[in-house]
């Protein structure tokens, strides 16, 4: 009997998958699936013969944005669906999710078509406290920097960072840095086929001396159970996500994987930081059940 094929799509920097996904091929074999690993832009790969293609470490998609979206559209059986990939690749989606009931950190959007001068960018930064500058299309935190509003050198670095992105046609997001991130870190809820698998708490990454970089940001994570408020908020976000999916695709689409990143807002609620549906780190090695849950979710797609 022929075993069904699942191809894990990655990038050339992680041609053998990243450390967190390294156990996934063996877990799939144990479930009667033939796993393959392929670089998404490798011209030698026949994606028509790739079975179900699962997005994993495609960390370079923002640098090859148009090519990546065209590739995603060309893959016959891609998870997550190309309609989802397209809108989730640009963080403008956070605006619509906020309208659908999942508020984001208050953000100033600098659009490249506005032709901002350095002075105009400067005037749109906060007058006090720390703030974050990041491109709306990015992966793994690349291009994100934390700056101090009242430090002249830091503010100048932030201006240069924003101008760098704007000149390259990238929308820039400016957000006040939340002290709650330093106190409590971020919290991520990970879902497979619509069911909550596990959750992790993430230590703050953007320390005060942090500057923008093109490197992927390393995370320190600890698994823990979500409390009732966190769980209910995650369900609220999932409802908003599926509302947005229906708007874009005209129908609901089940997500193979979905990572929701949140941070406390300091008032007893939460802000949505990100919904990661493309190259999401799923913290498979951080919770004992996570790897098996993901392999089971993939098996449900190809065996049932």
Chain-centroid distance, C-alpha 217: 12
Give the span between the Cα atoms of 4 and 216, in whole angstroms.
33
What is the reported pLDDT for 210?
46
What is the reported pLDDT for 205?
58
Class (C level, CATH) for 107-176 = alpha beta
What is the reported pLDDT for 206?
52
Counting beta carbons within 10 angstroms of the beta carbon of residue 1, is it exposed (0 to 12), middle (13 to 18) or buried (19 or more)? exposed
Q: Are 63 and 92 in contact (CB under 8 A)?
A: no
Of 135, 108, 105, residue with least CA distance to 120: 108
Q: Are 136 and 89 in contact (CB under 8 A)?
A: no
* DSSP result, 242-271: HHHHHHHHSS----SEEEEEEEE-SSSSEE
Class (C level, CATH) for 5-88 = alpha beta
Domain residue spans in the chain? 5-88, 107-176, 179-288
Of 100, 67, 202, residue with least CA distance to 141: 202
What is the reported pLDDT for 235?
95
Backbone angles phi, psi at 25, to 5 degrees: -55, -45
Give the span between the Cα atoms of 89 and 114, in whole angstroms.
22
Of 50, 46, 20, 19, residue with least CA distance to 35: 50
DSSP conformational letter for 72? H
Mean pLDDT in order along the chain per 10 residues (304 residues): 93 96 97 98 98 96 96 98 96 96 95 97 95 91 88 96 95 90 82 97 63 58 91 95 94 96 89 95 95 98 85
The answer to whether the predicted template modeling score (pTM) of the entire model surpasses 0.85 is: yes
What is the reported pLDDT for 76?
97
Bridge partners, 113 (sequence order): none
* Strands lying side by side in the sheet with 270-276: 221-223, 195-202, 186-192, 257-264, 270-276
* Structural tokens at position 85: 């990939």
For residue 71, what are the CA distances in angstroms to 44, 66, 95, 275?
A: 13, 9, 26, 21
- CATH number of this structure's domain 179-288: 3.30.470
């Amino acid at each position: 009997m022929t075993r069904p094929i699942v191809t894990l799509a990655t990038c050339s920097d992680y041609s053998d998958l990243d450390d967190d996904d390294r156990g996934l091929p063996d877990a799939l074999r144990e479930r009667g699936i033939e796993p393959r690993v392929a670089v998404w832009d490798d011209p030698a790969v026949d994606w028509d013969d790739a079975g179900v293609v699962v997005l994993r470490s495609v960390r370079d998609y923002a640098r090859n944005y148009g090519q990546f979206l065209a590739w995603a559209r060309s893959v016959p059986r891609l998870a997550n669906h190309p309609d989802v990939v397209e809108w989730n690749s640009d963080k403008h989606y956070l605006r619509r999710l906020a309208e659908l009931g999942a508020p984001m950190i208050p953000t100033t959007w600098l659009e490249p078509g506005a032709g901002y001068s350095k002075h105009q960018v400067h005037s749109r930064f906060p007058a006090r406290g720390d703030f974050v500058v990041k491109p709306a299309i990015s992966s793994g935190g690349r291009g994100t920097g934390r700056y101090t509003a009242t430090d002249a050198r830091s503010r100048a670095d932030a201006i240069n960072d924003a101008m760098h992105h704007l000149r390259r046609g990238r929308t820039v997001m400016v957000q006040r840095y939340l002290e709650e991130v330093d106190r409590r870190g971020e919290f991520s809820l990970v879902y497979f086929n619509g069911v909550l698998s596990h959750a992790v708490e993430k230590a703050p990454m953007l320390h005060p001396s942090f500057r923008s970089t093109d490197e992927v940001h390393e995370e320190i994570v600890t698994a823990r159970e979500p409390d009732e408020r966190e769980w209910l908020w995650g369900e609220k976000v999932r409802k908003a996500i599926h509302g947005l999916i229906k708007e874009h695709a005209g129908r609901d689409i089940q997500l193979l994987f979905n990572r929701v990143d949140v941070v406390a807002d300091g008032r007893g609620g939460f802000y949505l930081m990100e919904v990661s549906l493309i190259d999401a780190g799923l913290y498979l090695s951080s919770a004992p059940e996570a790897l098996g849950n993901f392999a089971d979710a993939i098996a449900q797609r190809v065996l049932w």
